[in-house]
Amino acid sequence: MSNGSVFTDIADKYDRINRILSFGRDQVWRQRVIEKLPAGRLLDLGGGTGAANEVFGDRDVVALDPSPEMLSLNAAVQRTVAVGESLPFGDGSFDAVFSAYVFRNLDSVEQTVAEVARVLRPGGRLGVVGLGRPRSRGAAALHRAGSSVVLPVVGTIAGAREEYVYLNRSLDKLPPPEVLFEDTPLRKVALWRMGPLGFVYGVVLEKV
């Protein structure tokens, strides 16, 4: 999860830029996943500045992120600097794990999901909101062409061109979620596409 700190230098602008790029829908996409997670103790994996806090309800939230600069802006009471590949918690510590816009930054998705499976209680769920390319080849090509122009321009305006060039490249880093989450230690409950052309996905996995 070392790439998770790539936006540290623009921590104070990060959520605002994401809201603009998502046409103000980022919280709606988070909510659609969070509403499928059980109540209780929740780990916000890659919680950053705490953008999801307002939609967690009355859950007992632990925010985890590799960037102390991002976490310093997070209002969560419980905050931990760590990476997803090595979670500093005991077995069965959480009822739910949530992660938004983080999985493409992980060093190892496989190792992170294995760690999540370890810290979840039986019946606990992992909910992920992620970004990638649309499913169809034509839509993916159109999206790739657009993002290769728009994201560097936004980054330049924000004074963080390098970070947003990285963001564009990261969209091609992983296989589509339909493949990525097919064979994991957790049972797939639901997977769906959201956003323009379906470049955003939601997935919910459960520990049995």
Task: Count the Cβ atoms, other than its own, within 10 Å of residue 193.
Answer: 16
Is residue 190 situated within a structural domain? yes
The pLDDT tens digits for 79-112 are 999 999 999 999 999 999 999 989 988 999 999 9
**pLDDT band for position 65 (cuts 50, 70, 90):** very high
Q: Answer whether residue 161 is part of any domain.
A: no
How far, CA to CA in Å, does 137 sit from each of 76, 86, 185?
A: 41, 35, 30
Domain that holds residue 55: 2-135+173-206
Question: Does residue 140 form part of some domain?
Answer: no
Query: Does 146 reside within a domain?
Result: no
In a domain, residue 33? The reply is yes
The CATH number of residue 184's host domain is: 3.40.50.150
Task: For residue range 140-158, list pLDDT tens digits in order.
Answer: 777 777 777 777 777 777 6
Task: Order across the sheet with 200-206: list the strands.
Answer: 78-81, 60-65, 41-45, 94-100, 120-131, 200-206, 187-194
Which residue type sits at 37?
A: L
pTM, full prediction: 0.84
